[in-house]
Amino acid sequence: MSYTTVTNVANLFPNFTRNGPKGPSDDVIQDFINDEASQINAILQRRFSEAISAFPGANPAAQFMAYIASFVAGSDQMNLLEHANTFAAAGELVAIFEATSGAASLSKLASAYEAKAQAIYQELDGRDEKGEVKKDGGRYDKLFDSSARSISPRPDFFGVAGGDQPRAKDEDVSDYFTKWPGIRAD
């Protein structure tokens, strides 16, 4: 299952003639699309396995298919997956363009698309540019798992210190914070 089409990938290269003598055929482009979709699926299954397991299915593959089917066409999830799949497949074309046409402009464009795809992959995977796991997770975590931890502008802790203690103890707390309780330095 892929998230984009050959037409979407080909449209990223304005001077590219589909199925021409100096370029990849639609079948080759579809293979790249499928390969990159598999990469995306692997990231989603590893990262969001808890959310996926909540979907009905006799096995993990069926649960994953139900999870993906829950994304409505045109939703943020599907748009992001299509975006990543399109750019990644376009980035894979760089080697073919360099070998067949020698067009440096197409190669440069394909490399830029690959960089965009890798940035999306890193965010989906919750990793930074160095490949290290981000402590706050990825930018898209909430899109794919509604129970994912959110970074909030609100304080992490609420309440008043000692607010859980009976009122009688709050009247004189000096004994709680002295080295020798019961001895006062009046």
Which residues does 85 contact at the CB level (< 8 Å), separation at least 6? 2, 3, 4, 33, 36, 37, 40
- Whether residue 181 is contained in a domain is answered as no
Q: Which of 162, 138, 125, 133 is nearest to 46 (CA)?
A: 125
- Whether residue 136 is contained in a domain is answered as yes
- Whether residue 53 is contained in a domain is answered as yes
Question: Cα separation of 29 and 35, whole Å?
Answer: 10
The pTM assigned to this predicted structure is 0.75
- Whether residue 167 is contained in a domain is answered as no
Could you give the number of structural domains in the chain? Answer: 1
Question: Cα separation of 80 and 6, whole Å?
Answer: 17
pLDDT of residue 27: 94
- For residue range 67-92, what is the model confidence (pLDDT) as tens digits? 999 998 889 999 999 999 999 999 88
- For residue range 144-169, what is the model confidence (pLDDT) as tens digits? 998 887 776 666 666 656 666 666 54
Residue 117: give the domain boundaries: 6-144
- Whether residue 22 is contained in a domain is answered as yes
- For residue range 88-111, what is the model confidence (pLDDT) as tens digits? 999 888 777 777 666 667 777 878
Q: How far is CA 35 from CA 2, 15, 18, 63, 160, in A?
A: 9, 24, 19, 21, 54
- Whether residue 172 is contained in a domain is answered as no
- Whether residue 165 is contained in a domain is answered as no
pLDDT band at 19 (very low <50, low <70, confident <90, very high): confident
- Whether residue 65 is contained in a domain is answered as yes
